[in-house]
């Protein structure tokens, strides 16, 4: 059982069905290429899933039409489909846990008790801090992460504005459909501009526009 014998088997067994199977495979490969070029995260994810399904249909059709057995390429592809599906579904559920381990993050309430109490009033999320001199904050899953550098750079009012901003993302993400949430995490390194504007408006309402402007000004100055 090896790839080369599989290729020989394809040639012998498919014959008249080869154009149809080839079309499905080409459609799958083209969809994968398209998913890499699309800018919209949700469309990228939908196209990627379409490519996965097309590939599965192509392999299943080939397996049904052929008389060969014990094909290594079939087992490899089915294993890939199972593993990739588990990873895709698991990303959404355990993304924040992955980030906690990766950053070695700890509960922010252990050093600043009011941070967790403040966020509890805005949304259901845990606040963590991680060791980094770069002033940074982001939301992942049901958790908010803030760096030591951010804690050292901002005063309490400015930090409240940042936490409110991230709390809005948590509230927004919890109401998003499954595909949209997964797309934002898996296919987008930064949030969409319009979402950032809405999060800023919420932060300004909760913590004050002056605190929000001051926090952004301090963080921007670090990178000048």
In this prediction, residue 6 carries a pLDDT of 62
- Residue 24 has a pLDDT of 77
Per the prediction, the chain carries an average pLDDT of 79
* Each residue's pLDDT tens digit, 140-173: 878 999 999 999 999 999 999 999 999 998 887 7
Q: Is the pLDDT of residue 111 over 70?
A: yes
Task: Supply the pLDDT for residue 23.
Answer: 79
HEC string of 92-117 equals HHHHHHHHHHHHCCEEHHHCCHHHHH
91: left (phi > 0), else alpha (psi -120 to 50), else beta? Answer: alpha
Q: Whole-angstrom distance between the N-terminal and C-terminal Cα of the chain?
A: 60
The answer to whether residue 9 scores a pLDDT higher than 80 is no
Looking at mean pLDDT, say which of 87-96, 120-129, 168-177 comes out highest.
Answer: 120-129
Which among 144, 100, 111 has a CA at the least distance from the CA of 125? 144
Residue 128's φ and ψ, nearest 5 degrees, are -125, 155
Can you tell me the distance from the alpha carbon of 61 to that of 68, in angstroms, rounded to the nearest whole number?
13
User: What residue ranges define each of the domains in the chain, with the CATH number in brackets?
Assistant: 3-95 (no CATH), 104-222 (3.30.2010.10)
Q: Which residue has the higher pLDDT, 158 or 7?
A: 158
Write the secondary structure of 126-185 as one string of H (helix), E (strand) and C (coil): EEEEECCCCCCEEEECCEEEEEHHHHHHCCHHHHHHHHHHHHHHHHHHHCCCHHHHHHHH
């Amino acid at each position: 059982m090896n790839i080369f014998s599989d290729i020989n088997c394809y040639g012998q067994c498919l014959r008249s069905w080869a154009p149809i199977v080839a079309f499905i495979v080409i459609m799958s490969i083209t969809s994968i290429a398209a998913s890499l070029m699309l800018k919209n995260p949700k469309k990228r994810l939908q196209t990627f899933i379409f490519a996965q399904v097309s590939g599965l249909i192509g392999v299943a059709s080939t397996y049904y039409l052929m008389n060969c057995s014990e094909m290594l390429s079939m087992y490899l592809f089915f294993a890939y489909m199972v593993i990739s599906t588990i990873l895709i579904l698991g990303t959404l559920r355990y993304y924040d846990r992955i980030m906690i381990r990766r950053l070695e993050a700890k509960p922010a309430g252990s050093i600043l008790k009011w941070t967790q109490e403040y966020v509890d009033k805005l949304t259901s999320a845990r606040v963590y801090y991680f060791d980094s001199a770069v002033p940074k904050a982001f939301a992942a899953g049901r958790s908010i992460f803030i760096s030591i550098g951010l804690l050292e750079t901002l005063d309490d009012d400015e930090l409240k504005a940042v936490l409110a901003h991230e709390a809005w993302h948590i509230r927004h993400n919890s109401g998003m459909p499954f595909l949209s949430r997964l797309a934002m995490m898996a296919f987008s390194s930064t949030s969409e501009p319009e979402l950032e504007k809405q999060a800023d408006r919420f932060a300004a309402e909760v913590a004050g526009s002056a605190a929000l402007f001051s926090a952004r000004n301090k963080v921007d100055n670090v990178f000048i």
